[in-house]
Structure 1
Amino acid sequence: MKKMILSGVTALALFTGGVIGSGSIGSSVEAAQATLKFKDVPSTHWAAAAINSAVEQGFFKGYSDGTFKPSSPVTKAEMASILGRLTDQPNAAAQEANNFTDVPEWAKGGVSSAIAKGFIIPSNYNGKLDAKASLTRGEMATWLAQGLTVVDPDYKQALSDVTNTVIPAKEYFTGKLASNQKNAVAVALGTGLMSVASDKNFGTDRTTTRAEVAVLISRYANVAKTKPADFQGLNELREVGLRGTNINIIAPKYKVLPESRYPESEDYSKVTGDFAKVRNQELVTKTNYADIKVKNWIVINPYLEGAARSIYYPVFVDENSKPLRGAYYSFAEFEMNIKNSMNQLQAGSLIQTVSMNPVISPSSKAVLNYSVPHINDLLGSKGVFNVKNPVYWGKGLLHFDKELNPEVFLRLKDGTYFKVIPINN
């Protein structure tokens, strides 16, 4: 990876500590040595290495009292100045003018450069950047995602593809994730640029700290040199956004049978293996208690470790949880329109496929921590639904064992039916 260096000679002389420009940088050796003296950044600090690197490269300096203040927030003007000086970042083909009226003099050049490099889009603002305000994580995700679209046009496509995706963050499931930041948060999570906190929230309204920025500088450089298609998590988010499921990535052996293997008595033109044609469409039900749709379908292979795991693993599955006989976990988000009344058991009679079970929701601690909508939240006395239009996640299994009926079959009211099974060739 090519080492990131500073561009321009903008000196932020107004700061005693904080962001610095190339005009006030000593040698990299001196800078690196300086970080070792920060009283508040021990070698065990989670961002110690990134802070050392950021100081060495001249993005930050310490304070006169010997501290770095890793938990102090970074302002929009400061972050714009850092992003504007990333020399590996190309300029955007189409650039808007810096029409902000509230940017301090020392930051105007840096903000203009950040605009030129595509991180900041002035037309998204009302003439004011609120430059002295602390940068939030939501806006940070937006700036970084916008920067990636300049590096590779496929990142721009990715930002569009994730519009209707399921985002592995608590705010998504609680409905508190702002729509204007949702896509950027998805890309930030899918590329590993940013992550959720211990409370499982992304924290869009939380401020971005100096330590976080030090880490993000390095991460952004790595992500910008990587093709979007090389991130499994981002691929899953895009697939779910476009088709409502990640099965093609997690369980690619599940496919629709070719026409040559179907009996002549069946109308093959009605068969589909594309879940996008099933998503949000009314299904044929075996009973008449309610109309039902499947909004999203998430499949998780619980036998993988590390980066090979689904990006949705932490949302639905507890560590070391594995079903029997090599099955994968299958989680479906149901939307129903109950006609009169319906209890929990009657919900299970609507559709009957082991991969999508409307009777129960996942019982993992993970689901509780992420506040995934659960059937128990919608049931009143005697297990009767207390709302007419429940939306919640159900739990099933995706089997590969032929003895356990591995077929996934759903019939739509328009005559189309979704039918996939594991195929080895």
Structure 2
Amino acid sequence: MKKRLALSLLAVGILTSGLTASPWIAAAEGFSGFKDKLPGWAKADIEYAAGKGYMKGNEKGNFRPEATISRAEFAAILARVSNNTPDEGTTGFSSIPGWSQNEVNVAVSKGFISPSDYPNGFNPDTPLTRRELAKWVASGLAAKDEDFKKALADTADTLVPVAEYYKGGLNKADYPYVSVALGTGLMAGYPDGRFGPGQTTTRAEAAVILRRFEAIQDKKPVAFQDLKEMREVGLTGTNAISLGFKHRKYDDGREAAFANIRNVPYKLNNNLGTIKLNRFVLVNASKATEVKNLYGKMFVDKNYGSAFKMEKNRYELFVEYTVNSNVDNMDVMTYLNSSNDPFLHLIGFKSGAISKYGIKTMPRMDLVAKEKFFKKGFETKFWGNGFVNSNLPIYDTQNGAVITISGKTFSIYKED
């Protein structure tokens, strides 16, 4: 059963002041340190959260950084950190047991939590999952800023740079929330590439994310480069414009956008089959150890190697293809001669990111036939690797990329 929230400004002030019955959250009373050891990666943020009165230790003076945080605890703290304006007409929960009903309903009124996500009850003591956490923080940003709301819509079908995207474990409904959480830097994946959507959230993680949220809550989506790229990939299939490239234009002024050729079948030479370009993703890196964008980390790591040497002032390129083959196990030379456009037959690469993220890539050189990569009558989706120049004169057609399929063109260039 739900009820209407009648929240006066006075009530909101009281509810977010930290006067709660939770043993883990209280108003600032002077912070003098914790007795247990804090992890180095979260120590400063834990101490900051404690100093601000967002979180505290137990009666023994221990913070317990690895302990899980509950839905109710995080909702109460998040509502306190947020400067969102409460919506007094929001429908909240009416029967949450224990201390937290008012605190949770403040979080509802500020746009973080949707009661419809909990048809069987909020269950306040349930440990908070990372999936819930991503949705709450992204929803809170969207409640405050219409462009963040649009960012959620823009990333509904994007490429999400986490292992679960290809390996499974990330629902499509999660894409926009995880994208906003990653793209703003509020959350990050684990070293093994996982996002861990079903994994519970520790108190240390909560402290880190709360401090990040406090710092970015008044910023606009355009301030976050990785989010810009994920929005563009979700809408168009490429991140080229977000990285500073521009579209060349047709004589009539229309832009030669990737949408012109995206998923358009191209007939390969000698009736080998058809190929479609699904995505065209650029990586901003001149060295494998200096990757600058989040998408880059999905493809490039210290073990990265390709047929082309990485160089300054050009971008590594990763194209996702779908091939419907008319032949079995074509060898690499047959594949390389299957079109007259090099962007339509890029080959594979090596990288530790391939296994980490579950990427399927074109086998390198002579391995194509040995691995029985192409099968007659079957659709094969994979990533190929190349590069895009960015340091040539604007009028030089090798600056950027030009791809034409069925009389339609995608063309980009970059100015100095």
Structure 2 counterparts to residues 31-50 of structure 1, below 5 A: 32-33=31-32, 35=33, 37-41=34-38, 45-50=40-45
Q: 1:195 and 1:340, CA in 2 relative to 1: closer, same or farther beyond 3 A? A: same
User: SS where residue 105 of structure 1 aligns?
Assistant: coil
C-alpha deviation, 1:324, in angstroms: 4.1
Name 1:63's counterpart in structure 2. 58
C-alpha deviation, 1:11, in angstroms: 3.7
Normalised by the length of structure 2, the TM-score is 0.85
CA contact (8 A) 2:314 2:388 kept: yes
| CA distance, structure 2, for counterparts of residue 371 and residue 65 of structure 1 | 45
C-alpha deviation, 1:187, in angstroms: 0.5
Q: 1:222 and 1:241, CA in 2 relative to 1: closer, same or farther beyond 3 A? A: same
Confirm whether residue 290 of structure 1 aligns to residue 296 of structure 2. no
RMSD between superposed Cα atoms in Å: 3.0
User: SS where residue 145 of structure 1 aligns?
Assistant: helix
Confirm whether residue 416 of structure 1 aligns to residue 416 of structure 2. no
Name 1:390's counterpart in structure 2. 380
CA contact (8 A) 1:353 1:409 kept: no
Structure 2 counterparts to residues 336-347 of structure 1, below 5 A: 336-345=323-332, 346-347=334-335
CA contact (8 A) 2:278 2:321 kept: yes
**Counterpart selection for 1:256 from 220, 225, 248:** 248
Q: What are the ranges of 5 or more consecutive residues in structure 1 without an aligned counterpart?
A: 260-267
**Counterpart selection for 1:357 from 335, 345, 369:** 345
Name 1:19's counterpart in structure 2. 25
C-alpha deviation, 1:258, in angstroms: 5.3
Q: 1:294 and 1:62, CA in 2 relative to 1: closer, same or farther beyond 3 A? A: same
1:346-388 CA distance string (max 9 Å, x none): 3333434344534x22212233322212234996646452471
1:93-112 CA distance string (max 9 Å, x none): 8622325x4x2230100111
| CA distance, structure 2, for counterparts of residue 86 and residue 316 of structure 1 | 36
| CA distance, structure 1, for counterparts of residue 278 and residue 133 of structure 2 | 30
**Counterpart selection for 1:242 from 230, 235, 242:** 235
Percent sequence identity over matched residues?
A: 29
The one-letter amino acid of 1:88's match is N
User: SS where residue 293 of structure 1 aligns?
Assistant: strand
Structure 2 counterparts to residues 276-315 of structure 1, below 5 A: 276-303=259-286, 309-315=292-298
Name 2:4's counterpart in structure 1. none
CA contact (8 A) 2:336 2:345 kept: yes
CA contact (8 A) 1:335 1:391 kept: yes
Q: How many residues align?
A: 393
| CA distance, structure 2, for counterparts of residue 407 and residue 87 of structure 1 | 43
| CA distance, structure 2, for counterparts of residue 94 and residue 190 of structure 1 | 31
C-alpha deviation, 1:407, in angstroms: 6.1
CA contact (8 A) 1:354 1:397 kept: no
Normalised by the length of structure 1, the TM-score is 0.83
CA contact (8 A) 1:291 1:338 kept: yes
| CA distance, structure 2, for counterparts of residue 222 and residue 308 of structure 1 | 24
C-alpha deviation, 1:117, in angstroms: 0.4
Q: 1:92 and 1:294, CA in 2 relative to 1: closer, same or farther beyond 3 A? A: farther
Confirm whether residue 173 of structure 1 aligns to residue 163 of structure 2. no
User: SS where residue 99 of structure 2 aligns?
Assistant: helix
User: SS where residue 335 of structure 1 aligns?
Assistant: strand
1:6-42 CA distance string (max 9 Å, x none): 8545644353xx223x4xx52xxx3x21x2x42222x
Q: 1:312 and 1:344, CA in 2 relative to 1: closer, same or farther beyond 3 A? A: farther
| CA distance, structure 2, for counterparts of residue 410 and residue 95 of structure 1 | 50
CA contact (8 A) 2:288 2:300 kept: no
The one-letter amino acid of 2:341's match is T
CA contact (8 A) 2:303 2:352 kept: no
Confirm whether residue 164 of structure 1 aligns to residue 151 of structure 2. no
| CA distance, structure 2, for counterparts of residue 148 and residue 12 of structure 1 | 25
